[in-house]
Amino acid sequence: MATVIEALQQKLTQQLDCIYQGIDIDMQTSELAAQLIEIMRITEYCQVVEPFANHWSEKDIIMITYGDSILKSNEAPLTTLAKFIDSYFNCINGVHILPFFPYSSDDGFAVIDYSSVNEGLGSWADISAIASKRRLMADLVINHCSSRSLWFENFIKGEGVGHDYFFCAQPDDDLSQVVRPRTSPLLRPTETANGLKHVWCTFSHDQVDFDFSNPKVLQEFVTIIRQYLDAGVNIFRLDAVAFLWKIVGSKSINLAQTHEVVRLLRTLIEHAQHDAVIITETNIPNTQNLTYFGNANEAHAIYNFSLPPLLINTLITGSCLYLKRWLMSMPPAQDGTTYFNFIASHDGVGLRPAEGLLEEEEIKTLVDTMEMFGGKISCRTTETGEQKPYEMNIALFDALQGTTKGKDTWGLQRFLCAHSIMLALEGIPGIYIHSLLGTRNDYEKLANTSHNRSINRHRWDFDQITAELSNHASEHAQVLTEMTKLINLRTQQVAFSPNATQFTLHLGLQLFGFWRQSRNRKQSIFCISNISDQVMDLPISELNLIITETWTDLISGQEITDLTETIALQPYQTVWISNC
């Protein structure tokens, strides 16, 4: 054990040397490394770290939800959520509960107190109860906290814990290169006991950014990580981590120190709990996003942010040109890493990850179509001062209610087609609770908050949604039934393991397909979707299926007896043709 700890301390010291190079901190990095080991209680929990280990399988599906997405009178929302999951989502083995802490804005992402559960949601006991049955994913809101936090109050007072936690700059500093997804002023003037300070705010003036050049901030977050592990958190979502390190005069995004902090957190977490996972939330262009894998020593998983806009574009245009081109360019994730695939979440559909992948005209058509289906568009200010669409805010079920030609009758089929593609792709699927329930745009909440993202953050009344799900003719019941069927099929196929082999098929622009093969090479699945509103013929002979094996479409259950036949795929129909 002593040798393991010594090696760990040496590794952490090297990482801290990289992070704080050129910065005068009040202790030796070796001393800081020892303190981090103590905070994480690694001497008590130290586990053998197997390099390049995959702590996931085809059975892993993560459901994304707010703690209060389902509400019942006189019951803590987390208690209601747990009951609802047990009743309706038994096909799901993981849950991402979005920030469940006291907060002041941004639906939880302006955290007031990281160590407490929002009393309006429940308690740590409720969190641990959910974690006892499923893998629990929680947010580490690491870039910023609420301006109403005790830490920021102490910053204003100039004393106490947090008084030196926040990053400040000067209005006359060169901040022209800073990349951020908001149009509000970057600096927040704040009167403090030490005079007027200008606090860096990447997102809003209620979300004040931390200064990680102060090691106390790092120590604070390592303390938070240990508490979350103790509560049963198994997956850490590093929110907005790309903006973590700031340097005046730079873009202050994706800096080398940020990557080193991610590497250090992975080192600490995997030594404390070997199967815990880090997922980086970096809503940035695809090539930048991929760098957060490092050499299988940074994020275990990265959000596949380019998938949502490309897949929606494919289904509304009836052409898979851009989706196929992107898929062919994506490197297979090496062992120890994987993709986190999603097509809907609590946020909107980001457009920056489509930059360089979709033509400007394609993006304009996509934006116009989403507006036609009732969506809202959020913009950012570019380096030249131009207003540019940054995010499309719309419920996925509404986003897929038609094509560029307008709404049609294929909405449900198109919606299910999107998920049949996502569920089969290399990586771990993340499914938003409102996609499982077929929730529509919430215009009432949008009007009440005036925040575009509210359109896709509906809160269901427990009795209302259970009544809808009991009515087999309701749209919501149909969505859940079909989604459950797809999920159950996926979790039974070893060829859908997140790191199983994947190759893109070339079947024209209206048929999107790829081939998955299990790592033991025993199972092959050809995943082919008609992404158009017309019947399309699929010549089985083009798949070169092995004639000595029996092939079956897993979704329909139909056996393919003639390998020379042609299958007529209905609009938005998907087949998963498997040999076992």
Question: What structural domains does the chain harbor?
Answer: 1-54+94-276 (no CATH), 501-578 (2.60.40.1180)
pLDDT of 174-200, one tens digit each? 999 999 888 889 999 999 999 999 999
**The pLDDT value given to residue 381:** 74
Q: Is 172 a catalytic residue?
A: no
| Residues annotated in a binding site | 106, 144, 237-239, 346-347, 453
Query: What is the per-residue pLDDT for 379?
Result: 87
Helix (H) or strand (E) holding 105: none
CA separation (Å) from 448 to 99, 100, 276, 423, 444? Answer: 21, 22, 39, 34, 6
The active-site residue, picked from 60, 139, 206, 239, is 239
What does each C-alpha distance from 326 to 285, 291, 306, 358, 501 come to in angstroms? Answer: 12, 16, 9, 10, 17
pLDDT for 425: 98
The CA distance from 580 to 573, in Å, is 21
Query: 111-135: buried (b, 16+ CB within 10 Å) or exposed (e) per residue?
Result: bbbbeebbeebbbbebbeebbeebb
What is the SS3 assignment for 231? coil
* Residues lower than pLDDT 50 in the chain: none
Annotated binding-site residues for substrate read 106, 144, 237-239, 346-347, 453
